């Protein structure tokens, strides 16, 4: 099995997982990594989004994949090479009703307690590991 295929599968899994993020909610790279079954590679998740195709004809692209709903575990929009990108991401999130606050150093923060989306691992993953204990989840989407 070629690694290329595995890499492609990884990209596919990541994009699919990101699409599961509800409108107006955000999650972290690490959580996506867990969802796809590779909790040790949150970095690669970022790579996937970085290379997310803009081609509207592609199966996954900026239009059908809510890449903006993915931030780092600190609840901050990961600053990348192009500052405009992070600012754009913040704008996109606010457009969905997500409140983004700016720190003293200009870091764009999102309150996980308010907009965080951290569901349990996908059934397919749970079936393999059969986790005996379930971590507490507080997905309280009690807003209309």
Partner DNA sequence: AGCATGACGGTTA
Partner DNA sequence: TTAACCGCCATGC
Give the total residue count for the chain.
Answer: 144
Q: Residue 25 or 41: which CB sits closer to DNA? A: 41
Q: Residue 136 or 143: which CB sits closer to DNA? A: 136
Selected from 22, 24, 37, 85, the binder of DNA by CB under 7 A is 85
Evaluate whether 27 touches 93 at the Cβ level (below 8 Å). no
Report 32-61 residues binding DNA (CB under 7 A).
Answer: 33, 40-47, 49-52
Longest dimension (CA), the chain: 49
Q: Say how far apart CA 17 and CA 48 lie, in whole Å.
A: 12
Which residue in the block uniquely carries the two structure tokens 């969802």? 35
Q: Residue 22 or 79: which CB sits closer to DNA? A: 79
Task: Give the per-residue contact string, 16-35, with DNA (x = CB under 7 A; - = no).
Answer: ------------xxxx-x--
| Residues in CB range of 33: below 8 A, 6 or more apart | 39, 40, 41, 42, 44, 45
Least distance from DNA to the Cβ atom of residue 64, Å: 14
Q: Could you write out the three-class secondary structure of 92-111?
A: HHHHCCCCEEECCCCCEEEC
The number of C-alpha atoms within 13 Å of 126 and in the hemisphere containing its C-beta is 9
Q: Residue 22 or 72: which CB sits closer to DNA? A: 72
Least distance from DNA to the Cβ atom of residue 142, Å: 25
95 binds DNA (CB under 7 A): no
């Amino acid at each position: 099995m070629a690694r290329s295929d595995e890499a492609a599968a990884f990209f596919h899994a990541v994009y699919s997982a990101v699409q599961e993020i509800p409108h107006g909610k955000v999650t972290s790279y690490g959580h996506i990594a867990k969802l796809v079954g590779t909790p040790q590679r949150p970095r690669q998740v970022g790579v996937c989004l970085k290379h997310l195709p803009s081609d509207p004809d592609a199966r996954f692209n900026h239009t059908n994949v809510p890449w903006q709903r993915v931030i780092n575990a600190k609840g901050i929009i990961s600053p990348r090479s192009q500052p405009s990108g992070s600012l754009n991401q913040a704008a996109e999130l606010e457009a969905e009703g997500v409140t983004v606050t700016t720190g003293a150093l200009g870091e764009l923060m999102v309150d996980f307690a308010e907009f965080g989306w951290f569901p349990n691992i996908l059934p397919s993953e749970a079936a393999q590991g059969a986790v005996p204990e379930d971590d507490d989840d507080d997905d309280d989407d009690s807003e209309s």
